[in-house]
Structure 1
Amino acid sequence: MSGSRLSAIAGAALAFQLCAAPLLAQGLPPAKTLSGYQETASLETGDSVTEDLALDDQRVRGVLSFPGLEQAVAPWFAWKKRLNDEYGLKLQFSYQSSRQTLSDTLGEEDAAAMRLQLQGSWDLLGRGTKNKGTLTFRLEERQRLGTAIPPTKLAFEYGGIKPSGGFSDFGFALTELAWRQSLMEGRLRFVVGKISALSWYNGHALSSSLRGFQNLALQSSLTKPAPGRGIGGGVAYEFSEHFGVVAGIHDANAKTADNPFDTIDQGEFYKSVEFRYWPTNRDMRRWDVVRLQFWQQDALKDKGVPESKGVTFLASRLLQDRWFPFVIAGLSDGKSTVMKKDFTAGLGVGIDTQHRAARDIFGIAVNWGEPSNDLLREQVTTEAFYALTLVQNVVITPSVQWVRNPAASTAFDDVFTFGLRFRTTF
């Protein structure tokens, strides 16, 4: 399917489709779904196919309500439900855009980009059981929207070294094609294919450029490597309801939009083992978790990067179905990562609304990082955002980022990034 065809699908649907853009409040009790998709025991967070399918199908009312329009588009979601019931196929379409503006700059002042996605999962073996085999996939179109650079490059315009947003402009690409298999009644799971190396480790419930924090430093530790989506594999085993381990190996040279077979033959890998402790029940694992990751990356010969290693830590908890504190920390030898040391503390707050049965979410977090390059300054990054469900399935998110002491430039001591994100799924 071409990028233009995907754009045509989105253009036709955006005029009338309404989608649930769930945020923090969806873990407790499960909300009514649009297409009957059920929550899954996903091992991933952030920008992952499994998370999107589970979260975006839940019904969340918006500030505005159009019952007639919702009734008119109900057959669309009913068709998606039939696909899942009869064939085990889940589909999701989404459109999201982001625009960011700087208070001070050495070059470009604005950046904007869009992401159009078609993604899904197809249960091909053991459907309806805990030992199922599933094919997951994602097609994406990413383009700039009238600016010279996308948000992924904007921070470099003032000397920052942490991307201020996850919106790039690589064009059209197949960014995931993977087989996921569960065994031993779901206690043993593995995945292999073209997958993300980022969403598996050291992430929390608001680690998403599409739903939560946009600055990558507030999503997970930047003391670990960040290869693109490429060929990789992983295995997970649950020793008990409260303790498990996830181990994976990924192509260290992968570039998300490129052919994954172009780099895998270099034989240079990023390897990780992450131990997880879930202090409460299975339904709360997305929020209530402690993660301890150990990683090692081979030397990247063509890039002149020596072998490296490090450790990351994350702890988060949802309290009173409202308060979501989290902390992140990381330490590496600094040979292959942006940061040698970093620490993040953050808080998500579910905001009750008197006029509707839904919640908005406010998030704030601050990160300190010591760059791997000793010539750069220690940088402090803060972000605050408010995610507002405008109408069912449409979320707008204003945000502000404050960077103190941009690491790669002494031209400014303080720089602000003002952002506005839009997202709809159907």
Structure 2
Amino acid sequence: MAEEPQMVGQTDTSVDVASSTGFGGPNSVQNQQDDDASITDSLTGVGGLESYFNWKDQLREQHGFSYTLDYTSGALAASSSLSGRDFYASGALRFYGSWDLIGRESGNTGTFIWKAEHRHGYTTPAYNGAAADMGYAGALFGPLSDSGPRLTNLYWKQLFKDGRVELIAGMIDTTDWVDLYALASPWNGFTNFSFGTGSATIGVPDDAALGAYFNAMLTDNFYLITGFADANADSTDPFNGFDTFFNDNEYFKSIELGWTTSQERFYLDNAHVTLWHVDERDGAGVSDGWGANFSYSHSIGTKWMYFLRGGYAEDGGSLFQKSISTGTAYHLSDGISLVGLGLNWSEPNQDTFGPALHDQYALELFTRLRLTRNLEVIPNINLIGNPALNQDKDSVVSFGLRARVFF
């Protein structure tokens, strides 16, 4: 579900981040770290830990080593649920970083990247269980679960041609490389996955999927992102992925062709088409599948951004068979606060949820507020119309609050 050459968390959208961090999504390690470092102001004017953050900046500049420790809490209250529960809460501790080990002087760096997490519930079910309990055939902040310790990233990134070409290989989170746009991260953007990767129509594998991606600017405006990963990945048992990768031979594959005004504005002005296929997973009992997605996002100055995205899936374990999302984001102040609004229509994937389910509608409104340099809070409202798994209700409303502190 980071960070960014994008409207989310940028003090100045003209800042050249994409050329230094490559093609990864908003929650990819280096983009998240760039986003955190780009904002030194806050709504309260409280900075704090200045000497510590200055030391971190020097460590990255002098030695190419950067790390982040952050903690995210989330709570959600629902107007109705199938179980009678109406409150869900979870937390996640994450430790991640990058180390440029070769090529720093040439700019064609080779970087070791890692991310480890501990996800835990304050309630049963945890935050990510709210969607099913509300009767929504979808996902609300899916990463905020009670799955315990897990490895999500452990890979090598090699740049070529001054960052215009990159090769990623190792244990990856495919949502960092598939169907990207500025608001794709559930950690500080929309919580509803219908506004995330593939508009919830792509059957992506779990994190720490052993695989590789090749990404390149084909011209100054056209780009390619393509790769594959183990469809049976399990981030709670990541090294078993070597067995499933080489013995099960069940893979997720994708290719994306896109256009952008420039690599420096990769997320701000972007149009692309993504095609994907996933093999049948015998052990998991999930059929093979494929799909196609489109995405268009555009920024107006340094304040506004809007998007239109959608997709189609044929089986493959995705949440939706068909989905269309649109919305906008607006900076209330320069990178310090952001408001996002999204609308979605979806048709649940009958291969995942069963046949004869009616269409769903979703609206989400959130605002991200940087209270201090290293603390942000994100209240949000989700309105689900015609929840497919709770046909006694015309609509269900939830009120959520996320808070993230990073060091």
- State the TM-score, normalized to the length of structure 1: 0.87
Give distance in 2, aligned partners of 1:182 and 1:38: 12
1:365 maps onto 2:342 in alignment: yes
Structure 2 unpaired stretches of 5+: 1-6
1:237 maps onto 2:213 in alignment: no
Report the residue type matching 1:97 in the other structure: S
Q: CA deviation at 1:205?
A: 0.7
Runs in 1 of length 4+ with deviation above 3 angstroms? 24-27
Query: Which residue of the other structure, out of 253, 259, 263, is the alignment partner of 2:232?
Result: 253
Query: Which residue of the other structure, out of 250, 259, 265, is the alignment partner of 1:268?
Result: 250
Deviations 1:95-133 (A, max 9, x none): 111100100111121111111111111001101323110
User: 1:170-249 counterparts in 2 under 5 A?
Assistant: 170-220=147-197, 221-229=199-207, 230-249=209-228
Give distance in 2, aligned partners of 1:172 and 1:39: 33
Deviations 1:349-384 (A, max 9, x none): 1113xxxx6541110101111112132121111100
Equivalent position of 1:23 in the other structure: 8
Give distance in 1, aligned partners of 2:192 and 2:328: 15
Q: CA deviation at 1:299?
A: 1.4
Structure 1 unpaired stretches of 5+: 1-21, 32-36
Give distance in 1, aligned partners of 2:267 and 2:251: 28
Give distance in 1, aligned partners of 2:167 and 2:131: 36
Equivalent position of 2:329 in the other structure: 348
Number of residues of Structure 1 aligned to a counterpart in Structure 2: 390
Say whether the 8 Å CA contact 1:62–1:391 is kept in structure 2: yes
1:102 maps onto 2:87 in alignment: no
Query: Which residue of the other structure, out of 394, 402, 406, is the alignment partner of 2:383?
Result: 402
Please state whether the residue corresponding to 1:173 is helix, strand or coil: strand
Moved more, 378-387 or 297-306: 297-306
Equivalent position of 1:160 in the other structure: 136
Please state whether the residue corresponding to 2:285 is helix, strand or coil: coil
1:61 maps onto 2:37 in alignment: no
**Cα gap change, 1:25/1:132 in structure 2, threshold over 3 Å: closer, same or farther?**
closer
Report the residue type matching 1:93 in the other structure: L
Deviations 1:131-162 (A, max 9, x none): 110000012111112x1112111111121121
Give distance in 1, aligned partners of 2:105 and 2:125: 46
Q: CA deviation at 1:262?
A: 4.8
Please state whether the residue corresponding to 1:198 is helix, strand or coil: helix
**Cα gap change, 1:216/1:358 in structure 2, threshold over 3 Å: closer, same or farther?**
closer
Deviations 1:65-88 (A, max 9, x none): 246xx3xx2221232123223321
Please state whether the residue corresponding to 2:33 is helix, strand or coil: helix
Give distance in 1, aligned partners of 2:12 and 2:282: 44
Give distance in 1, aligned partners of 2:370 and 2:57: 23
Q: CA deviation at 1:40?
A: 2.4
Give distance in 2, aligned partners of 1:389 and 1:305: 41
Q: CA deviation at 1:24?
A: 4.6
Please state whether the residue corresponding to 1:333 is helix, strand or coil: strand
Say whether the 8 Å CA contact 1:341–1:371 is kept in structure 2: yes
